[in-house]
Structure 1
Amino acid sequence: MAFQIPSVPPTTNKNIRFPNTLIAQVEELIRGKESTFSAFVVAAVRAAVEEVQNQQDSDR
């Protein structure tokens, strides 16, 4: 499954610190897209969670 830049879903605020370089990379990726930094991070975390869960399932 290829990662896709998401549109804006309903969200809840959660404060987190990011390295400045990572912020710049994400902002460059979403520039000109109908997305936000938060929506991108949520989609990336979902993809990471799914990957870890799939790995755990295959390890069983």
Structure 2
Amino acid sequence: MKKFKIPQIPQTTSKSIRFPNDVIDEVESVLVGTDCTFSAFVVEAVRVALENLKEESAEDE
């Protein structure tokens, strides 16, 4: 499993995305007391998911 690292801020593009309210609530509760923003958390979560998909794809080949 990949460890969470505080991300460096790359060049970004704004995207609108809708989240279920329960997901927002859960993420926000995890972030209480941290310096991490909601956006940074979501970006890192997507990066980890993409890495997992690559690993699974490599295992299937």
- Shorter-normalised TM range: 0.7 to 0.9
Query: What is the RMSD computed on CA atoms of the aligned residues?
Result: 1.8
Compare relative contact order (CA 8 Å, sep 6+) and give the higher one, 1 or 2. 1
Identity score, percent: 45
- For structure 1, the 5+ residue unaligned runs are none
Alignment of 1:11-26 (within 5 A): 11-26=12-27
Runs of 4+ aligned residues of structure 1 deviating over 4 Å after TM superposition are none
Structure 2 gaps of 5+ residues are: none
How many pairs were matched up? 60
Instruction: Report Cα offsets for 1:4-48 as digits up to 9, x if no partner.
Output: 274572432111000000000000111110111000000000000
TM-score, length basis structure 1: 0.84
TM-score scaled to structure 2, two decimals? 0.83
